[in-house]
Amino acid sequence: MIGDPDAQFIGRRRALIEKIREQGILDLELLQLFDEVPRHRFLPEGVWNRAYEDAPVPIGYRQTASQPSLQARYLEVLAPTRDDTVLEIGTGSGYLTALLSRRADRVYSVERVRELSVRARAALDELEIRNVACMVGDGTIGWRKYAPFDVIVVSAAAPKVPQAYIDQLADGGRMLIPVGTRDSQRLMLIRKEGFAVTEEPLDDVTFVPLLGKFAFTEDDG
């Protein structure tokens, strides 16, 4: 069972949960996840003082750990279940990975930055989370070996939805991905039913860019 040996953070974590509730996330089981998974464990120790702010937090390598209420929104919309296999693009800190692991059967998480993947894996292992596989690589090509996926979670912004994600999404599957420019995106809910793919725009968001063969490149302005 996931626990928090650092009692100093318990009050801050409960305050964060209240902030998430204020954003309209009322599912008690979902909110319980944020009490079970200690966010500070997934962040560099130098920013532990910011771990329970409802805000993005820098984690190095020009990356951030996303705002917790936005991650709660992801979980609310996608509603992963214990029967679901999840593909996560952008492991980042590993915090959302851990939250997903509490809801899904298996999570396959791809991260471009090796150092972040290694750090996230260490945090997951420390908390004895065993149903997650991590890979370092180009997230824009997905992880075909374990497809199809019931849920695909993309934590970086793409100029369009990579075809690999559509191909690797299971029949009846759903995906959340920020789509737009480097500076401004719309969160898109993608559903696949047979050969039909639908797109539903949700919230305006701002994510770091998804870098790789089928998204932005380092040279893009």
- HSE-CB of 121 using CA atoms within 13 angstroms: 14
Cis peptide before 148 (omega within 30 of 0): yes
Kindly name the residue from 66, 69, 117, 155 that is annotated as catalytic. 66
Helices 10-22 and 68-78 meet at what angle, rounded to 10?
A: 60
Q: From CA 149, how far away is CA 188, in angstroms rounded?
A: 17
Are the beta carbons of 142 and 110 closer than 8 angstroms? Answer: yes
User: Does the active-site annotation cover 66?
Assistant: yes
In the block, tokens 């693009």 appear at 89
Are the beta carbons of 35 and 14 closer than 8 angstroms? Answer: yes
Are the beta carbons of 206 and 185 closer than 8 angstroms? Answer: yes
**Residues that are catalytic:** 66
